[in-house]
Every structure is written in C-alpha cells, then in structure tokens.
C-alpha cells in the first residue's frame, strides 16, 4: 500500500515498488481514502507519508500496527524517535530517500 499525497513522489514510489517485484495498492492521498481502503482489504506492507491532505497518517498507522502490517514511513516530517517508540519495528526512510534505501526497506518488510 502506498499512502502519499504528492503526485510525483507517489509515481516514484510506484516505480520503485514495481521494479522491486512487488504489487501495490494506491496511491492514497488522504487518511479518509486510506481508511476506506483498509476497510476493504489489509495490505501486506505499507509505505506511509506522515502528513497527508486531511491530516497526519497516525489513525491509519495505528490500524496497520495493530494488524501487524509492516510499516515504512516515508516522510520529510518524521520524528524518527517518536515514530519508533509509537510503532516499534517500523522503518523510517526520510525524504528524499534513494531507491536503494526504499528497496532495502521493502525487502526487510517482506523478510
């Protein structure tokens, strides 16, 4: 699952995910859209931006964390220590991240 409200960043993430051999759902640009998607189907992994069109992604991240879905935070607005305290086991790829960093995070999430 890709949750990103910046169109070109979302396109880059799609390419990295596909080039890494994975399928994706999304991209979703808001907490509301993402919550509706989670009501339909829980993903195997999620790449989340922290700040979305309608607020911060934490309600979504909470649901994913409870469901034990691996989370990769991809944000320029992330407090790394706060995210790791709140979501142990999550990964943080600060924007801008290289494709190599994101591929490594995906591989770790699916390991």
Report whether pLDDT(77) > 80. no
Task: Calculate the dihedral angle through the C-alpha atoms of 83, 88, 90, 94, rounding to the nearest 10 degrees.
Answer: 30
pLDDT digits (tens, 9 = 90+) for 25-39: 999 999 999 999 999
Cα separation of the two ends of the chain: 17
Give the pLDDT of residue 95.
Answer: 87
CB atoms within 10 A of CB 89: 11
Give the pLDDT of residue 107.
Answer: 94
pLDDT band with cut points at 50, 70 and 90 for residue 83: very high
Q: What fold characterizes domain 2-106? A: Rossmann fold (3.40.50)
Task: HSE, CB side, 13 Å, CA atoms: give it for residue 57.
Answer: 29
Alpha-carbon span 49 to 2, nearest angstrom: 9
Give the pLDDT of residue 76.
Answer: 85
């Amino acid at each position: 699952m890709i949750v990103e409200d910046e169109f070109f960043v979302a396109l880059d993430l799609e390419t990295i995910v596909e080039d890494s051999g994975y399928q994706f759902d999304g991209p979703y640009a808001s907490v509301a859209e993402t919550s509706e998607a989670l009501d339909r189907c829980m993903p195997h992994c999620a790449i989340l931006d922290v700040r979305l069109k309608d607020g911060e992604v934490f309600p979504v991240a909470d649901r994913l964390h409870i469901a034990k879905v691996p989370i990769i935070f991809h944000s320029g607005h992330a407090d790394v220590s706060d995210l790791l305290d709140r979501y142990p086991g999550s990964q943080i790829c600060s924007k801008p991240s290289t494709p190599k960093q994101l591929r490594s995070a995906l591989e770790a999430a699916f390991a």
